[in-house]
Amino acid sequence: MTASTTAPASTDTFWADADRHLVRYGGEFTHEIIERAAGSFLFAADGRRILDFTSGQMSAILGHSHPEIVATVQRQVASLDHLFSGMLSRPVVDLARRLADTLPAPLEKALLLTTGAESNEAAIRMAKLVTGKHEIVSFARSWHGMTQAAASATYSAGRKGYGPGAPGNFAIPVPNAYRPDFTTDDGSLDWRRQLDFAFDLIDAQSTGSLAACLVEPILSSGGIIEPPAGYFAALHAKCRERGMLLILDEAQTGLCRTGTWYAFERDGVVPDILTLSKTLGAGLPLAAVVTSAEIEQEAYERGFLFFTTHVADPLVAAVGNTVLDVLTGEKLDERARSLGAFLHQGLTDIAARHAVVGDIRGRGLLAGLELVVDRETKQHSNELGARVTRRCLELGLHMNIVQLAGMGGVLRMAPPLTATEGELSLGLTMLDQAIGEACAGL
């Protein structure tokens, strides 16, 4: 056993320790030692400033080290940080009430947890208990988490090598307008026919125990794919016909990211259960399951159990209340709309200069840019996506690349809602340069 030291390890020692002692949990680590973060920027040990176009793990919607979040954490951790899970505190009840105030009826009952996977786990567990059924339907490019039930409903990655998932999980195709599988006479996506076909297959496979449909309003890890207007109303009807609950996972889209408080507002459809995470804690571990009083009562009467170590913790609940304060006080839904339009126009200008940009999509400050080798055939290239991402980081822009089979590399952008037009312009300039240089090197 060695004593710790106050002096930071050398770079070589840091990476040697990382290689020796860390479990690798998802690809390679970014080869930067991050010392601190502030606003829209990360600062590496070598002094480099890196523009954060992913808001950390798509979570820090108020930027890094927001002064009001810092003040809340300092104040709350000094007075009330953690409790026995059966005890309640004012921040928890306040946050549950205030979340309900941001949502349409009948969503009014909240369970406060830590991560998106945990909130989806709880939502699935609740849906199964309330319906008395066990089958779950999700999109074929979904990401809902890496715990058992959430991972069983995740199809974009992580399914192979772990044995069977939970029984009764089914995938339906993603309504991707850029790469349509069912088409109309003009070649556009025929999502109604696709949805009908999908549920014909679900009905054929189901044992008669369909409990819920768990989907994202905009698939993020699936490539920033937004189903067409009208799709969720039709999906909701499919659920109602079968006695299923509709669960919407707004881990990345909730709380003003898309220009409205919740992405589902566009479609006029209210889910039976809503899950929130990432954006609710603005980078701290806070998640929520929100449902109706009727569903909560049924779950309670049937003995709903989701007793975890950090359920209803006061420290992060206080942070959640501060997040709501800032979102409301600074009208960040409006800001996300205006900055989103600015970002989208900048990406459109880049597309005009680079033929490898096949598609631009997203809403508000959640944007996707799909890279292709050929716009006509939409042929993708993993090498191109990797080159652009790597060059962006070299230039000082942290991007996220989604590379899934059957589609091109999609650059996923989710800057903080507090970003400035100048910061977005800087990111767009670096992205423009990176695409040009990556293409020249192919």
Question: pLDDT digit string (tens) for 24-61?
Answer: 998 889 999 999 999 999 999 999 999 999 999 999 99
DSSP conformation class of 263: G
Q: E-assigned strands of 364-429?
A: 366-371, 397-398, 400-402, 410-413
Looking at this protein, which amino acid is placed at residue 57?
Q
Residue from 257, 222, 196, 289 nearest 418 by CA: 257
- Note whether 215 and 302 are same-domain residues: yes
The two tokens of residue 426 are 């800087």
Which of the 8 DSSP states describes residue 288?
A: E
The answer to whether residues 226 and 145 belong to one domain is yes
Please report, for residues 78, 144, 282, 336, the alpha-carbon distance to residue 291 in angstroms, rounded to integers and kept in the order given: 32, 18, 22, 26
Shared domain check, 261 and 217:
yes
Residue 271 has a pLDDT of 98
The amino acid present at 267, given as its one-letter code, is: D
C-alpha–C-alpha distance, residues 165 and 154, integer Å: 10
- pLDDT tens digits, residue range 275-329? 999 999 999 999 999 999 999 999 999 999 999 999 999 999 999 999 999 999 9
Q: Label the pairing between strands 135-139 and 210-215.
A: parallel
**Positions marked active-site:** 143, 216, 249, 252, 278, 412
Domain boundary residue among 287, 306, 329? Answer: 329
Assess if residue 11 is contained within a domain. no
CA-angle at 83, arms to 67 and 129, nearest 5°: 105
In angstroms, rounded to a whole number, what is the distance separating the alpha carbons of residues 79 and 87?
Answer: 15
Q: Is the pLDDT of residue 3 over 60?
A: no
User: Taking residues 349-368, what's their average pLDDT?
Assistant: 97
- Looking at the 3D structure of the chain, how many domains does it have? 2
Residue 191 counted as domain residue: yes
The pLDDT score that the predictor gives to residue 9 is 81
Q: What range defines the domain where residue 322 resides? A: 71-329
Q: Which of 223, 252, 232, 42 is nearest to 144 (CA)?
A: 252
Predicted TM-score of the model (pTM): 0.96
Q: How many CB atoms lie within 10 A of CB 241?
A: 11
Q: Among 25-39, 183-197, 268-282, 417-431, which is the least confidently predicted range? A: 25-39
- DSSP designation for 265: G
Residue 287 in any domain: the answer is yes
Q: Is residue 413 part of a domain?
A: yes
275 and 261 housed in the same domain: yes
Rounded distance, CA 434 to CA 395, Å?
Answer: 8
The pLDDT, as a whole number, for residue 408 is: 65
Within a domain: residue 12? Answer: no
Residue 224's H or E segment, with its range, is none
Instruction: Based on the fold, state whether residues 336 and 320 are members of the same structural domain.
Output: no
User: Is 88 in the same domain as 101?
Assistant: yes
**CATH code of the domain containing 162:** 3.40.640.10
Residues 128 and 262 in one domain: yes
